[in-house]
């Protein structure tokens, strides 16, 4: 299964929003994103922090949408 990416975007237009979220997460957490896009040198801790931050934000967005934007 080498080369088969399982993290394809269901909505390709969301790519820019996800990249923006990733940048926001990195700035908030003080993590330096690799300029070349290769994450092999990012520590597991930093990668996990980025993923956790993004997941938390996506859950908040979904909760707001489900509640009709009322919070």
Distance, in Å, from the CA atom of 6 to the CA atom of 30, rounded to the nearest integer, reads: 28
Q: What pLDDT digit, counting tens, does each position of 32-55 carry?
A: 999 998 989 999 999 999 999 999
Task: Evaluate whether residue 70 is within a structural domain.
Answer: yes
pLDDT at residue 1 in the model: 42
Distance, in Å, from the CA atom of 67 to the CA atom of 56, rounded to the nearest integer, reads: 17
Residue 28: pLDDT band (50, 70, 90) is very high
Count up the domains in the chain and report the number.
1
Residue 24: pLDDT band (50, 70, 90) is very high
pTM of the entire structure?
0.73
The mean pLDDT of the chain is 86
What is the DSSP track for 20-61?
A: HHHHHHHHHHTPPPPTTS--TTS-HHHHHHHHHHHHHHHHHH
pLDDT at residue 47 in the model: 93
Are the C-beta atoms of 11 and 18 separated by less than 8 Å? Answer: no
Domain region containing 58? 43-71
Distance, in Å, from the CA atom of 56 to the CA atom of 16, rounded to the nearest integer, reads: 18
């Amino acid at each position: 299964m080498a080369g088969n990416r399982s993290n394809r975007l269901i909505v390709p237009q969301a790519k820019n929003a996800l990249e923006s979220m990733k940048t926001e997460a990195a700035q908030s957490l003080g993590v330096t994103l690799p300029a070349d896009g290769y994450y092999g040198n990012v520590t597991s801790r930093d990668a996990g922090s980025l993923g956790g931050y993004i997941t938390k934000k996506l859950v908040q967005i979904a909760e707001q949408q489900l509640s009709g934007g009322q919070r």
